[in-house]
Amino acid sequence: MYPMILKPALKDYIWGGQRLKTEFHKQCDYTKLAESWELSCHKDGLSIINNGELQGKSLLDYINSDRQNILGTKCEKFDYFPILIKLIDAKDNLSIQVHPDDEYALKNEGQYGKNEMWYVIDANPDSFIYYGFNRDISPDEFKERIENNSFLEILNKVKVKKGDTFFIESGTIHAIGSGILLAEVQQSSNLTYRVYDYNRLGNDGRPRELHVDKAAKVINFSKKVLSEFNSSIDDEYNKLKLITSCDYFRTYKIAVNNAINLQTNGETFHCLVNLEGKLNIKIDASVTEMKKGQTVFIPANLEKYEVEGNGELLFITV
C-alpha cells in the first residue's frame, strides 16, 4: 500500500485552452485541452496508476481487487466508485446544461445522475458563471426562449473570482463562462443534457447536439439563489477548511505550511489534488513527491500519513 500518483484521462472539447498544459504540466498533442480527469473510475476516462509496483494499472481495476479495504467502510453504501475529479480550463464558454438526479437518470438512462462542486482556481476579472434562473419560469417559456434565442436573458449570471466555491445540485441549469480555471468534484457520471450552445459547431463541423426535451423533464424552474456553505458544520476533519459537503463527497481546501498529519482510520479513501507548490507525502521512511498539477489516491487501509512542504491542495473524501 502506498500513495498512488494518478495519470489522468484528457479531453479536447472545443472550448478548452492551454493552461492545463502550461500551468499544470499535462502532456498531450491536443490543440485545445479542456479537461483533465484527475481521478476517475468512469468508463469514459479511466485514471491510471503512474508510480510504484502497480504502475500502468487502472485505478478501477486496483479498487476492484480489494474494494472494502481500499475504499473503506464509509463507501459500503455505494455500489459504484462515487466520485470523479476534474481540472477544467474554460478558455471559451461551456454550453448551458443540466444534469438529472439519480432517480431520473437510473430509470431513463441506466446510469447515475450528477451533483457537482466547483472550486475556482483562477478567473479573469470579467469572468462569470450561469447558475440557475433569475426568476421563476415555466417549461413552456424555457422552450420558447431557446427557440427565439433569448435564453440567456433569464439565467442567473454570477461573477466569480479565485477561491470561490459553488455547489451545483442536480436539476440546476448552469455553465462555466470563459476565462475560468477550476477544479470540479462530482458524482461519477458523464450524463449531461445540453440546452444551449451559442450556435457553435463541434469538431466535426456540425452543430453540437441539444437535449431540450430531456432537460425540460429534470430542470428546477424556480429562481435559484446562491447560498453560503456552512463551513462550521460538524466534521471529523474540523482542523481543515471544509468547502463542500453532500451525500457523495466532502471537499476541503488545505494550505500546507510545513506539515499536516492526516489519517483514514480504515474508514474512507482520500484524494489529494495539488493546486500549488511542491509537496511530499510521508509514510514512515517512505516519501512520495507530489508536484503541482498531480493528484494522489490514498487507500483507506493506508491509515496514517503526513503531507509536508509549502503549497495548496484540495482534499476530497466521502
Is residue 144 in some structural domain? yes
In terms of DSSP H, where are the helices of 39-138?
A: 59-65, 67-71, 102-108
- Where in the sequence is the domain holding 276, given as residue range(s)? 241-317
Q: Could you tell me the CATH number of the domain that includes residue 62? A: 2.60.120.10
Instruction: Check: pTM over 0.85? Answer yes or no.
Output: yes
> Do 195 and 267 have their domain in common?
no
Q: Which of 156, 183, 216 is the last residue of a domain?
A: 216
- In a shared domain, residues 38 and 133: yes
Report how far residue 76's alpha carbon sits from residue 249's, in angstroms, rounded to the nearest whole number.
14
Residue 54 region by backbone torsions, left for phi larger than 0, else alpha for psi between -120 and 50, else beta: alpha
Indicate whether 226 belongs to any domain.
no
Note whether 114 and 177 are same-domain residues.
yes
Whether residue 11 sits in one domain with residue 62: yes
State the pLDDT at residue 234.
Answer: 60
Structurally, the chain folds into a number of domains equal to 2
**Per annotation, catalytic residue among 194, 200, 208, 250:** 194
Answer yes or no: do 113 and 189 share one domain: yes
- Digit-coded pLDDT (tens) for 25-67: 999 999 999 999 999 999 999 999 999 999 999 999 999 999 9
| Backbone dihedral angles phi then psi of residue 239, each to the nearest 5 degrees | -80, -10
67 catalytically annotated: no
Cell of 25: 504540466
What is Dmax (Cα atoms) for the chain? 65
- Residue appearing with cell numbers 476534474: 86
Are 21 and 79 part of one and the same domain?
Answer: yes
The predicted model gives 252-278 an average pLDDT of 93
Residues 151-187 pLDDT 10s:
999 999 999 999 999 999 999 999 999 999 999 999 9
H helices of the chain, in order, are 19-22, 59-65, 67-71, 102-108, 139-147, 212-216
Same domain for 189 and 280?
A: no
Q: Say yes or no: 178 and 272 in one domain.
A: no
In tens, the pLDDT along 178-232 reads 999 999 999 999 999 999 999 888 778 888 999 999 999 999 999 987 766 666 5
Please check whether residue 151 is in contact with residue 101, taking contact to mean a CB–CB distance below 8 angstroms: no
